[in-house]
Amino acid sequence: MADCLFCKIIAKEIPSNIVYEDERCLAFRDIEPQAPVHVLIIPKEHIASALQLNEGNADIVAHIFIVAAHIARQEGIADGGFRLVNNCGVDGGQTVGHLHFHLLGGRNLGWPPG
Ligand code: AMP
Ligand code: ZN
């Protein structure tokens, strides 16, 4: 989608530090990491937010969870534990309008968040 930051990262028009890629999703390091490991996992299909998920496109979410576990092992945070977060909408803290999941780990993460 034109004018979408993450679509431009998928198209490699904007550089990113990629840690995993397959035909359906891309994972790259967050530019402003909030934990020792902070990776964003995004579908290659432009989906604006979790509100746009439906029975026809939601398979990607299961795929992203499987990829997240793979990256957690790759990054050495699987045993210590990690958090997989989706921010949706203004109150949820979503700032980029392309569905993404934050994979955070490498330190003890507080709860409740923000
Ligand atoms: P959210 O606030 O949930 O929408 O998350 C958007 C995330 O994208 C933030 O954590 C930003 O630090 C991150 N971000 C923004 N621009 C870039 C970029 N060019 N490369 C990597 N991460 C980015
Ligand atoms: Zn997009």
Ligand 2 midpoint to CA 90 (Å): 17
Region for 24 from its dihedrals, namely left if φ exceeds 0, alpha if ψ lies in -120 to 50, beta otherwise: alpha
Give the C-alpha separation, 58 to 11, whole Å: 22
State if residue 101 touches ligand 1 by the CB under 6 angstroms criterion.
no
> How many angstroms separate the Cα of 99 from the Cα of each of 81, 94, 112?
23, 9, 22
- Per residue in 73-83, pLDDT (tens digit) is 999 999 999 99
In the set 46, 63, 70, 100, the catalytic residue is 100
Q: Which of 16, 17, 21, 31 is CA-nearest to residue 67?
A: 21
Ligand 1 midpoint to CA 84 (Å): 15
pLDDT at residue 83, as a whole number: 98
- Per residue in 4-57, pLDDT (tens digit) is 999 999 999 999 999 999 999 999 999 999 999 999 999 999 999 999 999 999
**Is 100 annotated as catalytic?**
yes
State if residue 45 touches ligand 1 by the CB under 6 angstroms criterion.
no
